[in-house]
Structure 1
Amino acid sequence: MRPNRVVAIADRMDQRPVAATISAVIRDEEILLVRRANPPDQVLWGFPGGKIDHGETIEAAAVRELKEETGIEASAVEVFTAVDVIVPGDDVRPQFHYVLIAVLCRWLNGEPVVGDDALEARWFDFEGLNRGDLAMSLDVAKVADQARMLAMRLDL
């Protein structure tokens, strides 16, 4: 293989989106959110989550990231949607491109305690998400509503 072809392949590989999970945890008609400490979406409220490690399942990553960010113990129930987060960069390439895979999780134990990558963590009622006075990442209210409907259907 020619050296310039190797560089071209490496450049394309660098442009691939990063797969990450977000955990939708519902307890007593409230949903758990964290205020992000790091880009993208720094200081905005969103779901706990993070990158999927090589060889790790989506569900395992969701449960692990939830525990790391909030101290909450949960079990993964079902993958239910995916959301693109594309942050424009200075040139033609995006600065960030994540594919966030949403996992409905069943709360087992714990109260939110700020861990890595979060400034705050707390439970929110669903109506509060739709009022528009909470600074949230894109589609948080929409994904929360989808999680709520799925949880009701599954009788969680």
Structure 2
Amino acid sequence: MHTAPTPAALAVVIRGQEALLVRRRNEPDAGLWGFPGGRIEWGETVFECAVRELSEETGIRSAARDYLTTIDVVRREEGQVKHHFVLTAVLCEYRSGVPEAADDAMETAWIELTDIANAIIPLSEHTASVVRLAMAFLQGPCGDSN
């Protein structure tokens, strides 16, 4: 039984008008679409974790660019905490690769940003709000793309 939250990183990769998502193989969120990510290892930075998890789950090479947000995900069953993750969403720059599902991902795809923002597919909690943050971040303060 855990007595502290599990720190984890999410890799948010935007390419043109699409974001890279994976469909989770394991609980929590099995069968739902979300950003590649996972637990931060001892001695690993959040940026290093995001880049590593992205590579392990999809084969995509990237560079971490900036922090987007931090999210608490607490799931309870019968009043008891079942899962508690503190997820840090990291904006990552796509470098190379063709996504192939591996590790915890059973499927991976480039999905239209508007489809994610409008939750057209079954998404993990917070995925739509994180993609909206990424879209705003990339627009910049004057509406110009960085």
Per the normalisation by structure 2, the TM-score is: 0.92
| Match status 1:76 vs 2:72 | no
Alignment RMSD (CA, Å): 1.5
Deviation at 1:131, TM superposition (A): 3.5
Residues 132, 63 of structure 1: alpha-carbon distance in 2 compared, 3 angstrom cutoff? closer
Find runs of 4+ consecutive structure 1 residues off by over 4 angstroms. Answer: none
SS at match of 1:88: strand
| Match status 1:151 vs 2:138 | yes
2:3 & 2:55 partners in 1: Cα distance?
A: 29
**Residue in structure 2 matched with residue 8 of structure 1 by the alignment:** none
What letter corresponds to residue 21 of structure 2 in structure 1? L
Deviation at 1:133, TM superposition (A): 3.0
1:100 & 1:26 partners in 2: Cα distance?
A: 18
More helix by share: 1
**Residue in structure 2 matched with residue 133 of structure 1 by the alignment:** 120
2:30 & 2:22 partners in 1: Cα distance?
A: 11
What percentage of residue pairs aligned between the two structures are identical?
40
Residues 130, 95 of structure 1: alpha-carbon distance in 2 compared, 3 angstrom cutoff? same
2:138 & 2:119 partners in 1: Cα distance?
A: 23
What letter corresponds to residue 116 of structure 1 in structure 2? D
Indicate which of 36, 46, 50 corresponds to 2:34: 46
State the structure with more CA Rg: 1
SS at match of 1:151: helix
1:79 & 1:130 partners in 2: Cα distance?
A: 19
Deviation at 1:151, TM superposition (A): 2.1
2:118 & 2:68 partners in 1: Cα distance?
A: 24
2:14 & 2:118 partners in 1: Cα distance?
A: 19
More strand by share: 2
Moved more, 142-151 or 39-48: 142-151
Which structure 2 segments of 5+ residues have no match?
Answer: none
What letter corresponds to residue 115 of structure 2 in structure 1? G
What letter corresponds to residue 97 of structure 1 in structure 2? H
Indicate which of 107, 110, 120 corresponds to 1:120: 107
Indicate which of 20, 23, 37 corresponds to 2:11: 23
Moved more, 132-141 or 35-44: 132-141
**Residue in structure 2 matched with residue 87 of structure 1 by the alignment:** 75
Indicate which of 83, 96, 99 corresponds to 1:109: 96
Deviation at 1:155, TM superposition (A): 4.1
1:104 & 1:144 partners in 2: Cα distance?
A: 10
Deviation at 1:50, TM superposition (A): 0.2
